[in-house]
């Protein structure tokens, strides 16, 4: 959100800077106070450069996630590099290679367009972080976690799974297993299970019978 606000402010600065340059260079009538307008152009140009540098260097760390970049993220990053190069060239020409000054107007316009494309390509998403941006391989990993390697509870036999899921819903299974020393037969377990069943709707009559039989059986082992 903060990044988006910075980016939009940056684009407003760029637009103002370019429009002011157009007024001086392109308008045949031209403003009377050319000097001040050019000065303002420079001010907005540097405000743009400042925000651009802030965002650019702030984003560089995201290259650590480059392996998760999708197409949009790569285009965004490439376009940002192009904008940085254009900005550097423009500043160099304006201050040192002044014989090329005639190109400044074109470079400025190109920079505005490239910066706009850079911002638009992202539209508030974090490159590499957004699910849509992820390569299919990464998406698959996030979408379908590897099945648990242990034998609990998916890989248990059905009756054990029923026992663990239903009887483990309210309290740990451990104490239940420990009371196998107290309730030794299916007949011992039936009333206990019936009492548990009365506390909830998740245990059907069939579950209750099966669990009582199962617990009676393992108690006898
Ligand atoms: C709705 C929650 C709930 C579910 C589901 C549940 N229990 Fe309980 N269980 C309790 C509560 C509460 C207690 C303690 C109060 C009591 O004993 O009634 C308890 C206590 C126990 C005890 C110790 C008390 C005694 O009588 O020895 C055993 C053994 C037990 N449960 C076994 C089971 C078994 C087996 C299942 C699965 C069929 C099961 N529970 C499912 C809530 C539940």
CA-nearest residue, atom 12 of ligand 1 = 170
Q: Contact 52/80 with Cβ under 8 angstroms?
A: no
- Contacts made by residues 74-81, CB under 8 angstroms, sequence distance 24+: 75/121, 76/118, 76/121, 76/122, 76/127, 77/127, 79/114, 79/117, 79/118, 79/121, 80/56, 80/118
| CB 199 near ligand 1, within 6 Å | yes
Question: pLDDT by residue (tens digit) across 116-126?
Answer: 888 888 744 55
Question: pLDDT by residue (tens digit) across 29-79?
Answer: 878 888 899 899 999 999 999 999 999 998 888 888 777 788 888 888 899
Q: Could you please report the per-residue DSSP string of 62-109?
A: GGGGGGG--HHHHHHHHHHHHHHHHHHHHHHHHHT-GGGGGGHHHHHH
Helix axes 205-220, 186-198, angle to 10 degrees: 140
Task: Report the pLDDT value the prediction gives residue 170, as an integer from 0 to 100.
Answer: 93
Question: pLDDT by residue (tens digit) across 5-33?
Answer: 999 999 999 999 999 999 888 888 878 88
Task: Report the pLDDT value the prediction gives residue 124, as an integer from 0 to 100.
Answer: 42
What DSSP character marks residue 164?
I
Does the pTM surpass 0.75? The reply is: no
| CB 176 near ligand 1, within 6 Å | yes
Name the nearest CA neighbour of 47 among 92, 10, 20: 10
CA-nearest residue, atom 41 of ligand 1 = 167
Name the nearest CA neighbour of 15 among 82, 113, 156: 113
Question: pLDDT by residue (tens digit) across 104-161?
Answer: 888 989 999 998 888 888 744 554 454 454 555 555 555 555 555 555 666 778 888 8
| CB 8 near ligand 1, within 6 Å | no
Q: Contact 198/170 with Cβ under 8 angstroms?
A: no
């Amino acid at each position: 959100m903060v990044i988006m606000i910075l980016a939009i402010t940056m684009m407003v600065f760029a637009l103002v800077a370019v429009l002011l340059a157009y007024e001086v260079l392109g308008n045949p009538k031209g403003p009377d106070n050319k000097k001040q307008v050019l000065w303002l152009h420079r001010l907005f140009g540097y405000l743009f450069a400042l925000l651009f540098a802030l965002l650019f260097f702030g984003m560089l760390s995201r290259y650590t996630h480059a392996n998760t970049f999708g197409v949009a993220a790569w285009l965004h990053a490439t376009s940002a590099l192009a904008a940085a190069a254009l900005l550097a060239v423009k500043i160099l020409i304006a201050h040192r290679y002044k014989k090329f000054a005639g190109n400044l107007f074109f470079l400025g316009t190109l920079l505005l367009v490239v910066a706009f494309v850079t911002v638009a390509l992202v539209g508030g998403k974090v490159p590499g972080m957004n699910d849509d941006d992820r390569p299919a391989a990464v998406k698959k990993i996030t979408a379908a976690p590897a099945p648990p390697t242990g034998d609990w509870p998916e890989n248990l036999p059905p009756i054990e799974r029923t026992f663990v899921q239903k009887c483990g819903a309210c309290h740990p299974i451990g104490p239940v297993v420990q009371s196998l020393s107290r309730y030794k037969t299916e007949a011992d377990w039936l009333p206990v299970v019936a009492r548990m069943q009365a506390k909830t709707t998740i245990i059907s009559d069939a579950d209750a019978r099966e669990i009582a039989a199962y617990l009676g059986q393992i108690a006898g082992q």
